[in-house]
Amino acid sequence: MKKEEIRLVLKESYEKYKGLKEGVNASYIPYLEKINPELCAISVVTVDGETISMGDDKFKFAIESISKVCTLALAMQDIGINGIRKKIGDSPTGLPFNSVIALELHKDKPLSPLVNAGAMATTSIIKAADKETRWKRILEMQRGFMNAQIELSEELNASEQNTNCHNKSIAWLLYSAHHMYCDPVEACEVYTRQCSTLVTSIDLATMAATLANKGINPLTKKRVIDGRNVPHILAEMTMEGLYDESGDFAYLVGLPGKSGVGGGLLAVVPGKLGIATFSPPLNVAGNSVRGLKMIRNFANKLRFNIFC
């Protein structure tokens, strides 16, 4: 595929939707509520290492739930794909990302590593002797997927750690049902840190491109994860990556994706490229409104759909 063709469709997707006024910033994390809702970026990184990008692609925003994919990848390295299926699960919950009812319905097994309960359980699975080692390993995985400059934002982390009572409750529920594999307070704290790193749309496109490139980061050329785990990660993303809108995304776009309440959204075109968008206003499901429209337009126009 020619770079010029990608640039044209990327530009069209950006121009068409950058001014769309729908959705609202996430407000349950005070830091996110303050971000300028007008910001908008779209970026592509190809498996050959080309970057095509436009809009506010230098702006650093909260990775949030997209971090769950990196931690899942690390946990898969640590305990294998069958370990993940057994201990966490591999299916959509059909309920919002922070649902407690989802736990009640499935005997407290989280089912998905890409919703809050399963993500905290996944963080607890990472092999580590103590909290700081657990955190360091997760941060290193994010850096491998994106770049070595990825850092925690102290301000965002404080904003989240001070307001994450709901997640703390979920962590204790998991612990009481024997689905937490380290101290639940530690798991919740490290999970909250992993959501509090700052990234750009280019960073997220690089992460998506690393998955598109069977686990090798196309910019650093370094292997980040075992290529054999990639299909399993993409399957989880397809089923659960956009919360309870994952089915719509599979139906309308047909690519494995992952969103975060910070306004980031990425999608993987296996063997070809990673695409990512940033735009803070979210719909009721917690997905970026402009991001969904931009990626759908881009993928449809270029006929990127894993089911075709």
Burial class (CB within 10 angstroms; exposed 0-12, middle 13-18, buried 19+) of 107: exposed
Residue 284 three-state SS: coil
Residue closest to ligand GLU, measured at CB? 65
How far apart CA 92 and CA 237 sit, in angstroms, is 10
# chain residues binding ligand GLU, by CB under 6 A: 11
Task: Decide: is 171 part of the binding site for ligand GLU (CB under 6 A).
Answer: no
Please, which residues bridge with residue 257 across strands?
267
| Residue closer to ligand GLU (CB basis): 64 or 272 | 64
Determine how many CB atoms are found less than 10 A away from the CB of residue 133.
13
Task: Decide: is 98 part of the binding site for ligand GLU (CB under 6 A).
Answer: yes
Instruction: Tell me, letter by letter, the H, E, C secondary structure of 32-49.
Output: HHCCCCCCCEEEEEECCC
Q: Which of 111, 195, 242, 282 binds ligand GLU (CB under 6 A)?
A: 195
Task: Decide: is 116 part of the binding site for ligand GLU (CB under 6 A).
Answer: yes
| Residue closer to ligand GLU (CB basis): 74 or 190 | 190
Q: Which of 57, 160, 203, 240 binds ligand GLU (CB under 6 A)?
A: 160
Task: Decide: is 157 part of the binding site for ligand GLU (CB under 6 A).
Answer: no
Task: Decide: is 189 part of the binding site for ligand GLU (CB under 6 A).
Answer: no
Helix extents (H) in the chain: 3-17, 30-33, 67-87, 101-105, 116-125, 131-145, 154-161, 165-176, 184-194, 201-212, 230-240, 246-252, 289-301
From residue 278 to residue 297, the character string flagging contacts with ligand GLU as x (rule: CB under 6 A) and all else as - is: --------x-----------
Task: Decide: is 64 part of the binding site for ligand GLU (CB under 6 A).
Answer: yes
Q: Closest by alpha carbon to 71, among 197, 209, 221?
A: 197
Q: Closest by alpha carbon to 296, among 242, 218, 244?
A: 242
Task: Decide: is 261 part of the binding site for ligand GLU (CB under 6 A).
Answer: yes
Task: Decide: is 260 part of the binding site for ligand GLU (CB under 6 A).
Answer: yes
Q: Are 207 and 273 in contact (CB under 8 A)?
A: no
User: What is the smallest separation between the CB atom of 161 and ligand GLU, expressed in angstroms?
Assistant: 10
| Residue closer to ligand GLU (CB basis): 146 or 261 | 261
Task: Decide: is 217 part of the binding site for ligand GLU (CB under 6 A).
Answer: no
Task: Decide: is 241 part of the binding site for ligand GLU (CB under 6 A).
Answer: no
Q: Are 134 and 126 in contact (CB under 8 A)?
A: yes
Task: Decide: is 65 part of the binding site for ligand GLU (CB under 6 A).
Answer: yes
- The residues that touch ligand GLU, with contacts defined as CB under 6 A, are 64-65, 97-98, 116, 160, 167, 195, 260-261, 286
